[in-house]
Amino acid sequence: MYKVIALGVGAALLAAGLSYWQNKTPVQVPGQTGDHQSRTAAMEDIHRQIDLLRSRQTETRRILERLQEVALVQDFASRFRIKRGLAASIYAAAVAHEFEPDLIFRIVEAESNFSPSDVSPKGAVGLMQVMPGTASMYGVDRPSLFDTETNLNVGLIHLRNCLWAEDNNILKALDRYNRGNRPDALHRYASRILKGDSFNY
């Protein structure tokens, strides 16, 4: 539905822009017999029109990108059966930390089943199931881990560090995130997240 809306709005904006420029009286550029001031004024008007067109194209592109983002967030919310606001927070955090949103949604589902208040028997907290000891490495205390954005940010910073530690090997990085320094030769956790799909970092 949102994709259809995005395409419809985009088409309407482009149509409006074409209509504007088609109906606008063209600038008459004086020939060789015209005076210099008239030619200069005409060229300045042309440049102003070009600048205006570029500005409108940029704004249209921003609107279309925003509509596409809204559609993607709604798709994730529907796919994982969560509230749109939570989906938007996860999507925004993933993009900000330069992770593929699909991967982060899978991790949050596996870690906490999208519960910001979840606490594991071992004491891991929140959406990304961050251990308080790990959070303290990044200057964050345990109570703060119950905040959605804080938990996501700490979890994703830690995941990035796991990737660096494992030379960007996503299988090993996911295992390190889940098990610390205890490697899993079978990559059971990572395999459950990736489900045969590839994510390159």
Is residue 200 one of the residues assigned to a domain? no
Both 29 and 97 in a single domain?
Answer: no
Could you tell me which of 94, 93, 95, 72 has the C-alpha nearest to residue 84? Answer: 72
Domain boundary, last residue among 23, 47, 80? 80
The domain that contains 117 carries what CATH number?
A: 1.10.530.10
How many domains does the chain divide into? 2
Both 139 and 180 in a single domain?
Answer: yes
Both 64 and 120 in a single domain?
Answer: no
Both 183 and 121 in a single domain?
Answer: yes
Both 96 and 190 in a single domain?
Answer: yes
**DSSP 3-state of 138:** coil
**Helix spans in the chain (H):** 2-23, 36-80, 84-96, 101-112, 132-137, 148-165, 170-179, 188-194
Is residue 172 one of the residues assigned to a domain? yes
Domain boundary, last residue among 80, 113, 129? 80
Top-confidence range, 24-38, 52-66, 108-122, 187-201: 108-122
82 contact partners, CB below 8 Å, separation of at least 6? 76, 114
Both 113 and 146 in a single domain?
Answer: yes
Q: Which residues are catalytic?
A: 111
Is residue 169 one of the residues assigned to a domain? yes
Q: Of all residues in the chain, what percent carry a pLDDT higher than 90?
A: 58
Of the candidate ranges 112-116, 182-186, 197-201, the one whose mean pLDDT is the lowest: 182-186
Range of the domain at 21: 2-80
Q: How far apart are CA 16 and CA 1, in angstroms?
A: 23
Both 65 and 108 in a single domain?
Answer: no
Quote the Cα angle for 145-147-151, to 5°.
50
Is residue 199 one of the residues assigned to a domain? no
Is residue 60 one of the residues assigned to a domain? yes
Under 8 Å between Cβ of 148 and 89: yes
In the numeric block, the tokens 């979890």 are attached to 155
Instruction: Kindly tell me if the per-residue pLDDT of 16 is higher than 50.
Output: no
Both 76 and 96 in a single domain?
Answer: no
Is residue 14 one of the residues assigned to a domain? yes
Identify the DSSP state of 130.
B
Is residue 64 one of the residues assigned to a domain? yes
Mean pLDDT in the chain? 84
Is residue 135 one of the residues assigned to a domain? yes
Domain boundary, last residue among 80, 109, 144? 80
User: Quick one: average pLDDT of 172-196?
Assistant: 87
Q: Of all residues in the chain, what percent carry a pLDDT higher than 70?
A: 82
* Residue 29 vs residue 162, higher pLDDT: 162
136-148 pLDDT, tens per residue?
Answer: 999 999 999 999 9
Residue 130 — φ and ψ, nearest 5°?
-85, 130
pLDDT at residue 57, rounded to an integer: 81
Both 35 and 105 in a single domain?
Answer: no
